[in-house]
């Protein structure tokens, strides 16, 4: 097989041709600043508001509840840091308490570490062996000064889908802000922020066929979250800076298309994913599937292989034209075992051999067969050596 087989869609996705086409005029023809009064700038403003309306509709929100950012990391930082700031202002400087999980993306975990320096206490909700938050244990963690709960919608490493509705209902009963990092879920799973009681939601365009450097934060309209970037009056005075018009336009088009195609792509990708899982578990010894068997993203197949390092396997597969990951793309190259796997109780001997395959709509059964054969060859050679 001569072409590259891309099985790392959790890291990033190819820019959809339709998104690229939608962006092009705003790179060359309609280049006006959206904050200006003349027609050239008004064209940019109209495009931004059209994308805002499209994205709001996909999660059953109002357009004025969507705020454009540079991506999921910024959205996560904004949600956590300013929720703590809001709590402190409302309670005359009282120190806040945040609930999250040990399986979150580092955009959440490292932000919590930074907030700890400001005397904001973070506590981590327990998860089971599949990485699923134990809702029954969550209520025990709530304190008098708990201001918010932040739980990712679906895990970026092992694909487990969290019980968001149940956790958000718990947060609502205790009058907590509920935030979810939906970077891996948005565009791949149907989300209804009203029905699911989600107060804030982060998403990133390049995970669903949009351009890198664009994302959004949904903020329920009755949460007066403070501005994150100060300057001009963009994004209703909450996120200053001239807008990335082409990026926003491309994200809006990708959001529209990913939701229109979601059902068909989900069925196709899940079928391929199950085929991959079945072959790997049947044909490769000393291998375990990580994450939930049933509540997992349709495109995610994550394994641990005993006696090898996942990073070395990924490098050798790359020589065969296969792109996979040894974990989160944001932590590749680090020596530590996956914090997600360790939180799920998988010991270092297994966690060291973690490998993640994340499929997309363009992948084929032929590619999966080729991948499995090359994976078997690489593992056999490594284990003999």
For the annotated catalytic residues, the residue numbers are 330
Residues in Cβ contact with 50 at an 8 Å cutoff, skipping those fewer than 6 apart:
252
Task: Please state the separation of Cα 373 from the chain's center in Å.
Answer: 30
Whole-number Å distance between alpha carbons of 330 and 349: 22
Cα 205-290-171 angle, rounded to 5 deg: 60
Q: Can you list the positions of beta strands (E) in 155-268?
A: 177-181, 200-204, 215-219
Whole-number Å distance between alpha carbons of 353 and 41: 52
The count of other CB atoms within 10 Å of the CB of residue 306 is: 14
Could you tell me which residues are beta bridge partners of residue 322?
5
Structure token pair of residue 170:
């718990």
Query: Which three-class secondary structure state does DSSP give residue 269?
Result: helix
Whole-number Å distance between alpha carbons of 224 and 202: 17
Residues present in the chain in total:
385
The pairing of strands 215-219 and 66-69 is antiparallel
Structure token pair of residue 47:
């495009």
Q: How many helices (H) and strands (E) does the chain have?
A: 14, 12
């Amino acid at each position: 097989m001569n072409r590259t087989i891309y099985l790392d869609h959790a890291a990033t996705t190819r820019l959809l041709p339709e998104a690229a086409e939608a962006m092009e005029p705003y790179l060359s023809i309609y280049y006006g600043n959206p904050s200006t009064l003349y027609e050239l700038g008004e064209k940019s403003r109209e495009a931004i508001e059209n994308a805002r309306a499209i994205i709001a509709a996909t999660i059953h929100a109002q357009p004025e509840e969507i705020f454009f950012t540079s991506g999921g990391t910024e959205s996560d930082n904004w949600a956590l840091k300013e929720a703590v700031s809001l709590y402190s202002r409302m309670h005359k400087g009282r120190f806040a308490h945040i609930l999250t999980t040990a399986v979150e993306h580092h955009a959440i975990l490292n932000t919590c570490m930074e907030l700890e320096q400001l005397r904001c206490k973070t506590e981590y909700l327990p998860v089971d062996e599949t990485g699923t938050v134990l809702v029954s244990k969550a209520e025990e963690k709530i304190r008098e000064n708990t201001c918010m709960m932040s739980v990712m919608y679906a895990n970026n490493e092992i694909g487990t889908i969290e019980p968001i509705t149940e956790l958000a209902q718990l947060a609502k009963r205790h009058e907590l802000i509920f935030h979810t990092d939906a970077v891996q879920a948005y565009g791949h799973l149907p989300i209804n922020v009203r029905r699911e009681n989600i107060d804030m939601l982060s998403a990133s365009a390049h995970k669903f066929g949009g351009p890198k450097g664009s994302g959004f934060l949904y903020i329920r309209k009755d949460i007066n979250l403070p501005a994150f970037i100060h300057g001009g009056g963009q994004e209703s005075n909450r996120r200053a800076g001239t807008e990335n018009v082409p990026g926003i336009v491309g994200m809006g088009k990708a959001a529209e298309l990913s939701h229109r195609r979601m059902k068909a792509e989900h069925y196709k990708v899940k079928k391929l994913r199950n085929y991959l899982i079945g072959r790997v578990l049947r044909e490769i010894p000393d291998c375990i599937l990580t994450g939930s068997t049933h509540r997992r993203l349709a495109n995610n197949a994550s394994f641990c292989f005993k006696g090898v390092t996942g990073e070395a396997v990924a490098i050798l597969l790359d020589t065969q034209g296969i792109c996979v990951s040894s974990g989160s793309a944001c932590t590749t190259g680090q020596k530590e075992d996956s914090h997600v796997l360790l939180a799920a109780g998988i010991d270092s001997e297994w966690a060291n051999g973690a490998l993640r395959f994340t499929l997309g709509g363009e992948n084929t059964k032929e590619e999966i067969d080729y991948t499995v054969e090359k994976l078997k060859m690489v593992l056999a050679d490594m284990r003999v050596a």
